[in-house]
Each structure stands twice: as C-alpha cells, then as structure tokens.
C-alpha cells in the first residue's frame, strides 16, 4: 500500500475542496486533494460563478484570466407567471467588474482553479482517487484510506477536510449527525439547443402547472423541470411526448427543437436534499460545502456557499496547519463563522420551496406572490435579492498568500 504524509488531505475536488486546496497551498500549507473522477467533466451541476466568487478571484489577481474563459454574464433574472414577466433580480449594482453571475461550465472553473493551485509546490491533486475510510487513533482522525489508479493509498494528515459533497461517505463514517430540513421538490435536468434570436437572459417560467428554469449555456439551454418530491416517476409514466408538450407549453420552445429530448437517458433526475450537520467537525476532521450543508438548487447558491466555506477554512486554518498547532478550537471557529450564512440561506431555500414553488405546482393559476410583485414594480429593490444571492451573508475574502507561485514550500 502506498503511504503518504501531509498537513491536510482533502476528500473531493469540487468547488469547496479545490478552492480550499488552492488557498491552503498558497498560504504555504502542504495539501493533497483527492478526486474520485478522472476529470471535472460532469454535466448538470451548478454553473454559476457568483459575484462573491468573482470578488475572491479579483482579490487573488485572477479575475481577468478567469473571465477570459468562455462565459455568459447574467445580470438580471426574471420569472414569468403564465404570460406575465416579473423581473426580480438585478446584479448590476454589485459593481461593473463583479456585478453579474458568470455562467461558466463548472468543469472550466474547476480546471482553472486546479491549474492555478498546481503552481504552488505544496499542492498535490490525485485524480481517480476515491477516499474510502478514515484512519483513527485514540478517538482522533489522523488520515484516510483511499483507492487510486495504482491501488490502495494511505494518507496521514493533521487534518482531513471532507468536501466530497452531499453523498459524502466519510461524513457518515465520521458519525456526524445530519439534520434533514426537507425538500418537497425534485428536479429533472436536460438540455435543448438555443437559437440566436432568443432572449439570452436566464429565466424561470411558471405556466400550466409546470415550472421550468432556463440557464443560458451559449449554444444550448440547460433546463430544469421542477416536479413534486418523488414525482419524476409519474412524469416518466406519462411518456416523453407529454413531457415535451409540457416543456413547450411552459417555455414557448417550438416542438421541432424539443424533439432533441428523444430518450429518458437525456433527462437526469436530481433528488433535491436540504440538510445540515449538527456538528461539522471531529478532532482531526472538518466538513465543508455540501458535505456540511447540502443545498437545494433553489437560488443557485450552493457553489457560492461551498467557495465561501473554503475561503473561511483556509483563512482560519492555514497558520495552525503550517505551524503544527491545529486544535479543535480552530475547527469549531470555522463552523461558527459559516453556520449562520448556511442556516439562513437554507431557511430561505426551504421558504421558497414551500411557499412559492410547491403552491405554484399545486395551483397553476395563482398570481405571483406579493414579494415578487413588489420587486417587479420597484426596480430599486431588485438589488437586495441580488445581494443575498450574489454575495450571500458574511462574504469572505482570502488573506494575503504566504508563498508566491513556484516558491519552494
Ligand atoms: C444538478 C445540480 C444542479 C445545481 N445547480 C446549482 C447552480 O446552478 N448553482 C449553484 O450554486 N449550485 C447548484 N447546485 C448545488 C451545487 O452544485 C453544490 O452546492 C456545490 O457544487 C457544492 O460544492 P462542494 O464542493 O461542496 O461539493 P460537490 O460539488 O458535490 O463536489 C464534491 C466532489 O467530491 C468528489 N467526491 C465524492 N466522493 C468522493 C470520494 N469518496 N473521494 C474523492 N472524491 C469524491 C465528487 O466527484 C465531486 O467532484 C446544483 C447541484 C446539482 C446536483
């Protein structure tokens, strides 16, 4: 079995894990990130780089380089209820350089962060390496066991950072209690090609009992069709033709283009979960991102929170990791800092799920809820949801780095 020793081993190369790995390496901490897939190419994940993340990239001096990658800047969001358009979010007051959500395939963003991290000698990324079990000694987590392309690996570390998402096996084996906050909806994801004459803004559409979100991905729409919890089977039983008709009725996309959805294999089910760990840490282990608090796709803020957790974790943990003085107090501090934003954001998601989305599925003819009607009438107010969605609560910025790219660790 291959043996490694490092300061911090991170399970999961998603937004939380890669960003934490990058920032820790930049702060002079030796870090190993494990990602079970061979690449970051996975479809139907969040593709939203929020103003808060843009500000982090700006603080790191990487914003222009990031935005040189193909992306679509999404500055406004509107919902349509039947045939009535209701504009609700305006990101532009958040600044010229960062007042938009950059719609960018998540794999491009993760490739970018991984590339930048690789400039630091303390950073190691092991792809096709799946963490499987914790190593514990006297009640303390001291590392993990993983399976890599060349066989089993054992990695000892002062800290195991668990950032492997909502289905994290490590958080289960760590015995941390999960509080389920409930999700009355599931989402069917699929894509439909986009024509040049269409409104490029991302839209939410509620019509005839269907809710469809359309996200502009350049030459195609990434579409989310919301169904009641466990309602996907019923939609499937009605058949593909009926599904295409419902999508067409809600979006106005013509039938010929919807013929692209010719197999249920092209329609992926996301079982929505909203949950949170009661305690995010144990001696030697800390969970961040979806592993600590699985977010609903409502509002598209999961990546935002995952990246913010990573920045807070790196800010708080870099010095004690570097000096070998890490204690549970430091882990507790990370939870204390990030719990409030996660809790309030989840409450907001659960509120929207229960009070806006679920009633709209049950009562298709209901008018837009009052808060949305007010936002539609008073453009000035649209900056407030933009702030909440775009920056989140308690936005984080990275501390100055300790090493320059290419320096010896
Ligand atoms: C279909 C879908 C659409 C979404 N849409 C949006 C959106 O538009 N905007 C938004 O902000 N959020 C969205 N979200 C939520 C968002 O994707 C998550 O909140 C965010 O990705 C969490 O980041 P993370 O790094 O914590 O976890 P993840 O992104 O889940 O990353 C975890 C990583 O760990 C890896 N991994 C898992 N297990 C192991 C293991 N044992 N060993 C090694 N590696 C492992 C996984 O392969 C993955 O790369 C969506 C989620 C889904 C599922």
Give bridge partners of residue 5 from the DSSP assignment.
156
User: Does 171 lie in the same domain as 192?
Assistant: no
372: helix, coil or strand? helix
Cβ neighbours of residue 115 closer than 8 Å, sequence gap 6 or more: none
Length of the chain: 409
105 lines ligand 1 (CB under 6 A): no
In a domain, 105, yes or no: yes
Does residue 156 lie in a domain region? yes
**Amino acid 141: pLDDT:** 98
Domain match, 32 and 123 both? yes
Q: Are residues 304 and 334 in the same domain?
A: yes
131 CB under 6 A from ligand 1? yes
Does residue 88 fall inside a structural domain?
A: no
DSSP state at residue 343: H
- Claim to verify: residue 211 and residue 336 sit in the same structural domain: no
Nearest CA owner, ligand 1 atom 17: 46
| Contact between 322 and 402 (Cβ < 8 Å) | yes
Number of domains comprising the chain: 2
CA distances 317 to 28, 123, 399, Å, are: 11, 16, 11
Ligand 1: nearest atom to the Cα of 302: 19
Residues 49 and 198 grouped into a single domain: no
Which residue's CA is the closest to the ligand 1 atom numbered 9?
300
Same structural domain, 6 and 110:
yes
Q: Is residue 168 located within the same domain as residue 205?
A: no
- pLDDT, residue 6, reads 98
Q: Which of the listed residues 254, 270, 286 is the one where a domain comes to its end? A: 270
Q: Is residue 220 part of a domain?
A: yes
Instruction: Confirm or reject: Cβ of 186 under 6 Å from ligand 1.
Output: no
pTM: 0.92
Residues 254 and 230 in one domain: yes
Asked whether 133 lines ligand 1 (CB < 6 A), one says no
Domain ends where: 270, 287, 315?
270
Ligand 1 lined by 21 (C-beta under 6 Å)? no
- Tens place of pLDDT for every residue, the chain, 409 residues? 899 999 999 999 999 999 999 999 999 999 999 999 998 887 666 788 999 999 999 999 999 999 999 998 889 888 887 778 888 899 999 999 999 999 888 899 999 999 999 999 999 999 999 999 999 999 999 999 999 999 999 999 999 999 999 999 999 999 999 999 888 889 999 999 998 888 777 678 887 778 898 888 878 898 999 888 888 999 999 999 999 999 998 888 999 999 999 999 999 998 888 999 999 999 999 999 999 999 888 878 899 899 999 999 999 999 999 999 999 999 999 999 999 999 999 998 888 877 777 777 777 677 788 888 899 899 999 999 999 999 999 999 999 877 777 775 5
What pLDDT, on the 0 to 100 scale, is given for residue 44?
61
In a domain, 407, yes or no: no
Please give, one letter per residue, the 3-state secondary structure of 64-132.
Answer: HHHHCCCCEEECEEEEEECCEEEEEEECHHHCCCCCCEEECCHHHHHHHHHHHHHCCCCEEEECCCEEE
Are 170 and 292 members of one domain?
yes
Buried b / exposed e over 73-96, threshold 16 CB at 10 Å, is bbebbbbbbeeeebbbbbbeebee
Q: How far is the CA of 308 from the centre of ligand 1 (A)?
A: 14
- Centroid of ligand 1 to alpha carbon of 290 (angstroms): 7
Beta carbon of 301 within 6 Å of any ligand 1 atom: yes
Q: Is 3 helix (H, G, I), strand (E, B) or coil?
A: strand
Q: Is the CB of 210 under 6 A from ligand 1?
A: no
For residue 55, being part of any structural domain is answered with: yes
CA of 43 to the centre of ligand 1 (A): 11
Ligand 1 centroid to Cα of residue 385, in Å, is 23
305 plus 343 within the same structural domain: yes
**Residue (of 226, 199, 202) closest to 214 by Cα position:** 202
Tokens of 176: 């941390």
Residues 114 and 249 in one domain: no
Cβ–ligand 1 distance for 304 under 6 Å, the answer yes
- Pairing assessment for the beta strands 84-90 and 48-49 based on DSSP bridges: unpaired
From 223, 306, 312, give the residue whose CB has the most ligand 1 atoms within 8 Å, as the site to mutate: 306
Nearest Cα residue to atom 19 of ligand 1: 302
Q: Which domain holds residue 6?
A: 2-69+101-181+273-358+378-390
Q: How far is the CA of 353 from the centre of ligand 1 (A)?
A: 20
């Amino acid at each position: 079995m291959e043996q490694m020793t490092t300061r911090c081993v991170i399970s999961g190369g998603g937004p939380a894990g890669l960003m934490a790995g990058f920032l820790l390496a930049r702060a002079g901490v030796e870090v190993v990130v494990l990602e079970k897939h061979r690449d970051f190419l996975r479809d139907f994940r969040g593709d939203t780089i929020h103003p808060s993340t843009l500000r982090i990239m700006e603080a790191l001096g990487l914003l222009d380089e990031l935005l040189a990658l193909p992306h679509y800047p999404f500055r406004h969001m509107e919902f349509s209820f039947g045939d009535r358009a209701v504009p609700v979010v305006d990101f532009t007051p958040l600044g010229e350089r960062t007042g938009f959500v950059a719609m960018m395939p998540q794999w491009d963003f993760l490739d970018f962060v991984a590339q930048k991290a690789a400039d630091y000698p303390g950073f190691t990324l092991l792809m096709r390496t799946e963490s499987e079990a914790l190593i514990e000694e006297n009640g303390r987590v001291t590392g993990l066991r993983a399976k890599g392309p060349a066989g089993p690996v054992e990695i000892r570390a002062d800290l195991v950072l668990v950032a492997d998402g909502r289905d994290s096996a490590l958080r289960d084996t760590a015995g941390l209690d999960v509080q389920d906050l409930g999700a009355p909806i599931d989402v069917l994801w699929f894509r439909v090609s986009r024509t040049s004459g269409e409104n490029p803004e991302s839209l939410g559409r509620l019509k005839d009992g269907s809710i469809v979100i359309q996200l502009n991905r350049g030459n195609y729409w990434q579409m989310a069709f919301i169904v009641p919890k466990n309602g996907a089977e019923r939609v499937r039983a009605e058949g593909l033709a009926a599904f295409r008709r419902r999508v067409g009725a809600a979006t106005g996309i013509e039938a010929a283009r919807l013929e692209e959805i010719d197999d249920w294999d092209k329609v992926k089910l996301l079982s929505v979960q909203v949950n949170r760990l009661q305690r995010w840490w144990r001696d030697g282990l800390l969970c961040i991102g979806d592993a600590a608090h699985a977010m609903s796709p409502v509002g598209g803020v999961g990546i935002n929170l995952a990246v913010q957790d990573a920045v807070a974790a790196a800010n708080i943990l870099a010095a004690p990791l570097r000096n070998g003085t890490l204690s549970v107090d430091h882990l507790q501090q990370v939870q204390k800092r990030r719990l409030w934003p996660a809790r309030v954001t989840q409450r907001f998601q659960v509120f929207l799920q229960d009070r806006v989305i679920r009633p709209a599925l049950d009562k298709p003819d209901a008018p837009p809820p009052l808060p949305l009607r007010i936002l539609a009438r008073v453009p000035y107010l649209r900056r407030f949801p933009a702030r909440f969605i775009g920056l989140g609560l308690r936005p984080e910025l990275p501390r100055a780095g300790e090493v320059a790219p290419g320096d010896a660790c």
